[in-house]
Amino acid sequence: MTARPTTLKLYTDACPYAVTLYEQGAHHLKGDTFAPGTAFHDIVHAMSEGRDVQSVIQHLVTIGRVGIDAEGPLPFDAVAEGHRLARHWMRDRVMPEVSWYELGLAFSTDFAARMPYEDAEAWVHCKIDRVSVIDDVDGFEQPIRVLEVADYKLSWQADEAELDTIQRKVQAVSAWHAIADLVGEGEIDAIDLVIHSVRTGSDYRRRLWLPDDVATLEAWQTEVATLVTAHDHKPRTARPGPACISCDYAADCEASLLLLHAFDGDPKGQHASDDELATAWAVAKSHLNVVTEVLQHRIGKREKVVLPDGSAVGYVARPKTVMTKGHASLMADAFTRGQDMGPHLFIAMVDAMGGLTVTQARKLARHLHKGNVAAQEALLAQWTEAKVQGRWDSDKPGTHPVEVPDVG
Ligand code: SF4
C-alpha cells in the first residue's frame, strides 16, 4: 500500500507494525472519536463550495464517505457535532476565490511525477483540506501571490507544533510539486502552511519563500523519502514500549499482548531487567486503555457494570465538594467585614487561596478579553511561566535526551 501522512505518522509515533495493522483494517480504538472531524471536513467543504449541506449530512449518516478514504455511515450525534463546528467556523468567513478543497495529490517515487490521486500504485498520497491562491504584499509592500496550504485541526491541543509534523512536510512538498499544474510555473512567490485550530479559533502560519526556501523544501522531501523507504520495508516489526499507550491498534497487537505474559512464572518480575519492567508497565497501561474503551463503547461512558457481589466498575458516584452559586460575593463580604480593603481585596483573596491555578487564570483571561485570543494569550504569558516537574509517566522514543557520560 502507498504511503500517506496518516501511515507515516503512525510509523513515527507508534511503531512499524501499527502501519501493518492500519493497512489490515484492524479495529481503530478511537473510531467514533474522529467521526465529528470527518463530518466537519465534508460539511465545510460543501459550505465553501456553496453546495447543499443537508444532502451531505444525509449521505454521511446513511452511506458515509466514499472514494479512496471510504468510511461507513457515521453516528448521527457525531455528524451533528461536526455540523455545529462547521457552522461556527464558517461564520463570517469568506473563502479565497481560487481554492481547491480536499485536494488529493499523488506522486511517483521521490515526487518525480504527479499521478492520479486514485492510483493505488502511487508512491505517496496526500489530501489537503484547502489549497488557495491569495494576494499579499512582501516586506517592501510589493504585491505577491501566495499558495496557501491549509489544514483544519479539531484537537484542542492543536498549536504551532502542528507546523513541524511529517503530515505538514508531505503536504508542503506535494503542493510545491503541484504548482505548475495548479497555477503555472513561476506564478507563486511563497507557500504559506496554515493550521486552523477549529476549537480555539487560532491560526498558525509559516511562510516559505520561492526560491529562497527551496532548500527547506528539498530537505523535507529527503526526510519524507527516507521515511517512506523505511515505512515500506517488510516485515514491519512491532516495538512494544511507551508508544503503545496511545496506539489506537493495541487491541489487535499480539506482540504487546504477548508481553503481558512475560512475567508468567515470575509475577513480581524479580528476574526482569529495569527495561523489561518499564516496557511491561507501558504495555499494561495500553491494555487498560483498551479494556476501558471496549467497556465504555459497550455500556456507554456514563454507565456502570454491577457485579454479582454488588461491586461496580464504570461511572460510579463519588462525593465531591463544589462551590456554591454566589460564592464570590460571600467571600468578598467575609474579607471586607470591618475593614476597608479597597483595590487590595483581589490580591488579598488570591494570596489567601495560595494563588490561582493555571486553569483559573485562563478562565479569568477569557473573561477579561472575550473572543480575543491574542489578548488572552498575552495576559497568560505575563501570569504564567514554563517549568519542568517530574511525575510518573512515560516519554515516547526520541523525547528523552540521551545522557553521554563525561569521560574526561
Ligand atoms: S500496541 Fe505497541 S507494539 Fe503494538 S502496534 Fe501499537 S505501538 Fe506497536
User: Cell triple for residue 117?
Assistant: 490521486
On whether residue 347 sits in a domain, the answer given is: yes
Task: Give exposure, 5-41, as e/b (b: 16+ Cβ within 10 Å).
Answer: bebbbbbbebbbbbbbbbeeebeebeeeeebbbbbbb
**Is residue 406 one of the residues assigned to a domain?**
no
- In angstroms, what is the span from residue 264 Cα to ligand 1's centroid? 21
Residue 253: Cβ within 10 Å count: 25
Task: List strand residue ranges (DSSP E) for 166-250, in order.
Answer: 190-197, 202-209
pLDDT for residue 408 = 38
DSSP code, position 64: -
Pocket flag, ligand 1, residue 253 (CB < 6 Å): yes
255 CB less than 6 Å from ligand 1? yes
pLDDT of residue 302: 87
Q: Residues 257, 227: contact at Cβ < 8 Å?
A: no
Q: In this predicted structure, what is the pLDDT of residue 342?
A: 73
Last residue of a domain, which of 306, 338, 355?
306
Q: How far is the CA of 172 from the centre of ligand 1 (A)?
A: 29
Low-confidence ranges of the chain (pLDDT < 50): 404-405, 407-408
What number does the ligand 1 atom closest to the CA of 238 have? 3
Please spell the DSSP secondary structure of 315-329, one letter per residue. Answer: S-------PPTTHHH
Q: Are residues 174 and 270 in the same domain?
A: no
256 CB less than 6 Å from ligand 1?
A: yes
pLDDT tens digits, one per residue of 1-19: 588 888 999 999 999 999 9
pLDDT digits (tens, 9 = 90+) for 338-397: 777 776 788 888 888 888 898 998 898 888 888 888 888 888 889 888 888 788 887 776
The alpha helices in 246-394, defined as continuous H runs, are 254-259, 274-299, 327-336, 344-352, 358-368, 373-383
Residue 18 CA: nearest ligand 1 atom is 5
Which atom of ligand 1 is least distant from the CA of 240?
3
Q: Which of 111, 139, 136 is nearest to 123 (CA)?
A: 111
Residue 238, ligand 1, Cβ within 6 A: yes
In a domain, 402, yes or no: no
Q: Which atom of ligand 1 is nearest to the CA of 249?
A: 6
- Grid-cell match 463570517, residue found: 92
Q: Is residue 16 part of a domain?
A: yes
Q: Is the CB of 250 under 6 A from ligand 1?
A: yes
Interacting residues of 65 by C-beta distance below 8 A, sequence separation 6+: 38, 42, 71
Longest dimension (CA), the chain: 81
Going by CA atoms, what residue is nearest to atom 2 of ligand 1?
244
- 408 is a domain residue: no
Q: Write out the residue range of the structural domain in which residue 65 sits.
A: 31-94
Whole-number Å distance between alpha carbons of 147 and 98: 10
3-state secondary structure of 405: coil
Q: Does ligand 1 lie within 6 Å of residue 365's CB atom?
A: no
State whether 346 and 223 are in the same domain.
Answer: no
Nearest C-alpha neighbor of 175 from the set 215, 148, 141: 148
CB 40 within 8 A of CB 85: yes
| Residue 407 counted as domain residue | no
The confidence score (pLDDT) of residue 206 equals: 97
| 283 C-beta closer than 6 A to ligand 1 | no
Q: How many CA atoms lie within 13 A of 298 on its CB side?
A: 10
Helices (H), 147-209: 166-182
Q: How much is the pLDDT for 48? A: 94
Count of domains observed in the chain = 4
338 and 226 fall within a common domain: no
Instruction: Name the β-bridge partners of 145.
Output: 135
Using an 8 Å Cβ cutoff, are 148 and 96 in contact? yes
Q: 239 CB under 6 A from ligand 1?
A: yes
Residue bearing cell 479494556: 291
Q: What is the DSSP letter of 282?
A: H
Strands 190-197 and 143-153 come out as: parallel
Domain boundary, last residue among 281, 306, 331: 306
The reported pTM is: 0.76
d(CA 266, CA 280): 13
The pLDDT value given to residue 407:
44
What's residue 69's pLDDT? 67
Residue closest by Cα to atom 1 of ligand 1: 250
